[in-house]
């Protein structure tokens, strides 16, 4: 049976094995998918061993996405620019190929599942770490009118904007410069919510037409979602759909078949709220 896994540290809360088992069942594919916690100093060796022993594909999560990018012989899609990969496989020439499906996952969730628009919109990306970096190239390809990156450490936002300058109107600012601006779409890509924190954003950046999207998810609303609702945002979305959509794109790269995501997203939500009652 074809073997797949997600490599991360920590990884035990990963929902990927559950999602890929659902995809495999739905599409009649025979495969196994595990979640493997990889010691920090063993990542490269473990990836190479996995493929040498016939493994078919890997997902890569925190904190290894940049190291996985560096290990690849070649990059597909927008991954070369993203500088981080979450999906690995061997291409037909036997090369280790890395792709980043997070960007497509985010876009599909916003535009297909929620019928939102990015083209022509004024977008604020909050954060300048791996999460934002991973989705930025695919985001720019959707032709937003203007992309602003805001980050606590402004130099990181500036470095990220400089990498992609020329592709869209892109600027980098600190949180204190947000006052007086309003955005059509605000995407939170910081890890603040994982610690119950909220980046220091004034409520004035949200109008009743603004869509807010948190790349993370929790059992109920994330801190960012709760803030967005309080500000009167048109939508306050979490990252559950993005998680399933990025997995669906990885499944497609590996198997050549696109799974249906709607039922899997709905079931994952049900799982999350059921675990609430534990």
**By CB under 6 A, residue 29 contacts ligand ATR:** no
CA atoms of 64 and 90, how far apart (whole Å)? 18
- When the beta carbons of 115 and 195 are compared against ligand ATR, the nearer one is 195
Residue 77 neighbours by CB under 8 Å, 6+ apart: 99, 100, 101, 104, 138
* Catalytic member of 45, 65, 156, 235: 65
DSSP characters over 118-169: -TT-EEEEE--SHHHHHHHHHHHTT--SEEEEE-SSHHHHHHHHHHTTTSS-
Nearest distance, CB of residue 84 and ligand ATR, angstroms: 8
CA dist., res. 141 & res. 189, Å (int): 18
Q: How far is the CB of 176 from ligand ATR (least distance, A)?
A: 12
Stretch that binds ligand ATR, among 28-36, 96-104, 136-144, 146-154 (CB under 6 A): 146-154
> What distance separates the 2 farthest-apart alpha carbons in the chain?
57
65 is known as an active-site residue: yes
Cβ pair 88, 58 in contact under 8 A? yes
Does 131 sit near ligand ATR (CB under 6 A)?
yes
Site string for ligand ATR, 61-100 (x = CB under 6 A): -x--------------------------------------
**Number of residues near ligand ATR (by CB under 6 A):** 15
Q: How far is the CB of 271 from ligand ATR (least distance, A)?
A: 23
**Of positions 190, 210, 225, 246, contacts ligand ATR by CB under 6 A:** 190
Query: Which residue sits closest to ligand ATR, CB atoms considered?
Result: 129
What is 80-114 written as a DSSP string?
A: HHHS--SEEEE-TTS-EEEE--HHHHHHHIIIIIS
Sheet of strand 31-37: strand arrangement: 31-37, 2-8, 57-60, 87-90, 96-99, 74-75
Residue in this structure with the two tokens 């991954």, named with its chain if needed = 79
146 sits near ligand ATR (criterion: CB under 6 A):
no
SS3 30: coil
Q: Candidates 28-36, 46-54, 126-134, 158-166: pick the segment binding ligand ATR (CB under 6 A).
A: 126-134
Q: Which of 56, 128, 201, 206 binds ligand ATR (CB under 6 A)?
A: 128
- Residue 9 touching ligand ATR (CB under 6 A): no
Residues making contact with ligand ATR (CB under 6 A): 62, 127-131, 151-153, 156, 190-192, 197, 199
Task: Point out the residues that are catalytic.
Answer: 65
């Amino acid at each position: 049976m074809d073997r797949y896994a997600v490599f991360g540290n920590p990884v035990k809360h990963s929902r990927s094995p559950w999602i890929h088992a659902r995809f495999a069942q739905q599409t009649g594919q025979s495969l196994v998918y595990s979640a493997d916690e990889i010691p920090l100093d063993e990542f490269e060796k473990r990836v190479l061993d996995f493929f040498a022993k016939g493994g078919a594909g890997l997902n890569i999560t925190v904190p290894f996405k940049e190291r996985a990018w560096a290990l690849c012989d070649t990059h597909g899609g927008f991954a070369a620019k993203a500088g981080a990969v979450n999906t690995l496989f061997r291409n037909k020439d036997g090369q280790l190929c890395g792709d980043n499906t997070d960007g497509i996952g985010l876009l599909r969730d916003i535009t297909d599942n929620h019928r939102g628009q990015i083209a022509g919109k004024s977008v604020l990306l909050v954060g300048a770490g791996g999460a934002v970096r991973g989705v930025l190239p695919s985001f720019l390809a959707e032709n937003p009118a203007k992309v602003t990156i805001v980050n606590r450490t402004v130099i990181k936002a500036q470095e990220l904007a400089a990498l992609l300058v020329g592709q869209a109107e892109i600027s980098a600012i600190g949180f204190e410069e947000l006052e007086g601006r309003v955005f059509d779409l605000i995407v939170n890509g910081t890890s603040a919510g994982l610690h119950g924190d909220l980046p220091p954003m004034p409520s004035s950046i949200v109008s009743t037409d603004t869509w807010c999207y948190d790349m993370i998810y929790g059992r109920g609303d994330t801190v960012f979602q709760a803030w967005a609702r309080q500000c009167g945002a048109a939508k306050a979305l979490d990252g559950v759909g993005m998680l399933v959509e990025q997995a669906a794109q990885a499944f497609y790269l590996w198997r050549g078949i696109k799974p249906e995501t709607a039922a899997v997203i709905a079931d994952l939500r049900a799982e999350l709220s059921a675990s609430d009652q534990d």
